[in-house]
Amino acid sequence: PNGVLDFVNKRWQDYTGISLEELIKDPTGTIYPEDLPGVLTSWAESMAAGESAEDEMRLRRADGEYRWFLVRTAPLRNEQGKIIKWYGVSIDIQDSKCAEDELRLAYQRLSYHVENTPLAVIECDKNLYITRWSTHAEELFGWKESEAIRKNIYDPELSLIYPEDTQPVNQIADQLTSGIVDRNLSLNRNYTKERKLIYCEWYNSVLRDQQGNVITILSLVHDVTERKIAEEQLKQSETHLAEAQKVAKMGSWSLDVKTNRVTWSEGLYNVFGVDKRTFGKTHDSFLQLIDDEDREFVLQTNKNTGQTGEPFTIEYHITTPNGEKRSIREHGYGEKDGNGNVVRLFGTAQDITEQKRAEETLQQSHEEIRRLTDHLQKIRDEERAHIAREIHDELGQQLTAIKMDIVWVDKKMADEAADIKRKLKNVIGLLDGSNESIRRILSELRPGILDENDWMESIEWLCRQLKETTGIPVKFSVSVPEKELKISNLVAKCMFRVCQEAFTNITRYSQAKNVSVSISIPDGNIILIIEDDGLGFNPAAVKSKKSFGILGMRERVLSLKGKFDLVSSPGKGTKIIVSLPLETQA
C-alpha cells in the first residue's frame, strides 16, 4: 500500500530483462527519462487519492529499445475499505501509438492542405444540385454558400457557365453521371457574380455506392486565368524571341544529361545551317558539325558542366552540311535536381562569323596603326637626333666661334672704352646662356646621357634634374640583380622617355610634394613605377581630352609589347606602372 514494489510476473521480467531483485533496487530504471517526472507525479496523485489510474509511458526493453505502454493501476481494499495492495498491468501500445501518430500527422497534413489550397471545393448530387460550396468557392466566384447551396449548376441565378462552353460542360456531366468515367479534367470559361470572365480547371470525381450508383460528384476548381493570360503572352514572347534570334543569328538549346537528347529552338537550326526535318536529335549529331580541332574541347566543356552545373562561355568553329565555315559563341549552364545532380543543360549559341571577321579586321587595323605609330616614333627620334646634330654641329659651333671673337675683341679693346667692354661682357653672358639652352634642348631632343651612362644612372640623373629644377624631393630605388644588367636600347630609351614625360606632367600640373621612382625585375620583366602625392585627376576625363603626353607614353610601351597602367583620382596623387619584357643582351 505504500507503493513499494514486491512482485512482477515472468512476462514483465522477460520484457525488461531485469529480475525482481534488481527492479526492487531501482523501480524506475526502465522508464524513459523524459517520461519519469510525469509518471512520478501521476503515481503520487493516484496514491494520494486512492483512485485507479492509467498513464502512458515508454519502458525499456531488454535490448535497450523503448516502447510505449499503457500502464493501469488499481487499489485492492479490505472489508474496511483500507488499501492493502496496488496492482498494475502494462500493455504494449507501441503499434497503435505509431498508427495514431501517423493518422494524426496525416490528418494534420490533409487539414493544412485543405485549408491552404487555392482550389475551390464544390460538391453536387447525382442531379447536379450543389450540396457543398467551400470558402474558396465563395472567394473565387463571389456567391456566398447560402446563395449557391441547393441550386443546380445550370441555374440562371448562378450563371456559372460561359454560354459557348455549355455543350462541352454537358458532355462532361453526362460522362460522370452515366458512369462512363469516374473522373475527368476540363478547362472551362466561367462567370463570377460580378460577371467577370475567368478560366477555370475543374478536377471532377464521382463517389458511388456499392451498387455503382452515383452518390455525389466532387469538383476541385482552380482559377487559371493568369496562367492563360501568361500562356498567350508567352506565345507572343516566343514569336518575338524567334524573330529576335533570327535577327541576332542566335538560337537556344537544352540537353537531357541522362538520355543525351537535345532540344533546339527554330533559330538554332539556322545558326548551324541544318535542316530541322533531317537533322539528328542527339548531342552526337551536333558534335559532328564541330571542326576536329575544337570538338574535344567542346565535349569536355559539356562534360564538366554536366558534372558541376557551372555556367560556361566558349567559342568554336563548325562546318555546315554545305561546307560553309562558321564561328560560334556558346553560353550554357546546368540545372540540378533536389539531390544536387545535374539533370539538364541549357544554353544559347550565336553565329559570330561576321563579328569575328570584323574583329580580325579591326585587330589588323590596330596592328597596322601600332606599327605606323612605332614607325613614326622611330622617325621622330631619328629626326630629333638629326636636329640635335645640326644644332650641335652648326649653331653650337657658330655660337662658340662668335663668343671666341667677342672675347678676342674684348681683350683688344682699350680700357678707356668701358661702356663697350661692358656691352661685350653682356653679349658673352647671353652667348653662355644660349649655349646652356642648346645643351638643354639637345638633352630633350636626344638623350645623349643614355650613350654616356648606364640606363639606371640615366634615370637617376632625370630624378636629380627634377629635384634641382622644382625642389620636389625624389626618392629613387632599384631592386635588380647585383651583377651589371644590360637591356636593349629600345627598352632603355622607352623608360627614359616615359620618365621624361611623367616628370614634365608632374612639374606642370601635379603640385606634388613628393615623388618616388622604383625599378624592379620580377619574372623576366622590368617594372618601372612613378608615383606622386599631387592633385591627381580623373583618367577618364583626361582620356576624353585626348592627352597626347599620356597617349605617347602608352604607345611607346605597347609598341614594345609591354603594359602601361595609370592609376589616379582627384586628391589622391598619380601612379604610373610600366612593365616591359627584359630583353637582356650579351
Q: Which strands sit side by side in the sheet containing 574-581, from one edge to the other?
A: 474-479, 515-520, 525-532, 574-581, 563-568
Categorize the per-residue pLDDT at 433 as very low, low, confident or very high, splitting at 50, 70 and 90.
confident
Supply the DSSP symbol for 584.
B
Of 270, 281, 252, 265, which Cα lies nearest the Cα of 346?
A: 252
Q: What is the pLDDT of residue 199?
A: 94
Sign of CA dihedral 548, 550, 551, 552: positive
Residue 542 pLDDT more than 60? yes
Q: How far apart are the first and last CA of the chain?
A: 113
Please name every residue paired with 254 in a beta bridge, in sequence order, or none if there are none. 263, 346
Q: Is 515 exposed, middle or buried (0-12, 13-18, 19+ CB in 10 A)?
A: buried
Residue 584 pLDDT more than 50? no
Q: How are beta strands 474-479 and 515-520 bridged, if at all?
A: parallel
Separation CA 165–CA 162 (nearest Å): 5
Comparison of pLDDT for 344 and 441, the residue scoring more: 344
Comparison of pLDDT for 251 and 368, the residue scoring more: 251
Choice among 327-341, 359-373, 386-400, 413-427 with the minimum mean pLDDT: 386-400
Percentage of residues of the chain with pLDDT beyond 90: 35
Separation CA 457–CA 8 (nearest Å): 106
| Residue pair 72/53 in contact by the 8 Å Cβ criterion | yes
Residues 312-326 have pLDDT tens digits of 999 999 998 888 999
Grid coordinates representing 244?
529576335
Categorize the per-residue pLDDT at 69 as very low, low, confident or very high, splitting at 50, 70 and 90.
very high
> What letter represents residue 242's amino acid?
A
Residue 586 pLDDT more than 50? no
Of 540, 530, 539, 534, which Cα lies nearest the Cα of 577?
A: 530
Residue 111 pLDDT more than 70? no
Instruction: Tell me if the pTM is above 0.75.
Output: no
Categorize the per-residue pLDDT at 413 as very low, low, confident or very high, splitting at 50, 70 and 90.
confident
Q: How are beta strands 342-351 and 515-520 bridged, if at all?
A: unpaired
Summary mean pLDDT of the chain: 85
Of 557, 558, 551, 549, which Cα lies nearest the Cα of 500?
A: 549
Supply the DSSP symbol for 164.
G
Comparison of pLDDT for 210 and 463, the residue scoring more: 463
Size of the chain, expressed as the number of residues it contains:
586
Residues 7-29 have pLDDT tens digits of 999 999 999 999 989 988 898 99
Q: How are beta strands 197-208 and 312-319 bridged, if at all?
A: unpaired
Q: For residues 103-131, give the mean pLDDT.
A: 81
Categorize the per-residue pLDDT at 447 as very low, low, confident or very high, splitting at 50, 70 and 90.
low
Residues 122-143 have pLDDT tens digits of 999 999 999 989 888 999 999 9
| Residue pair 273/322 in contact by the 8 Å Cβ criterion | yes
Torsion angles phi and psi, residue 522, rounded to 5:
-100, 140
Residue carrying C-alpha cell 514494489? 5
Choice among 65-74, 80-89, 191-200, 448-457 with the minimum mean pLDDT: 448-457
Q: List for the chain the helix, strand, coil content (%; round to 5).
A: 45, 25, 25
Q: What is the pLDDT of residue 560?
A: 86
HSE of 503 in the Cβ direction (CA atoms, 13 Å)?
A: 25
> What letter represents residue 158's amino acid?
L
Q: What is the pLDDT of residue 583?
A: 63
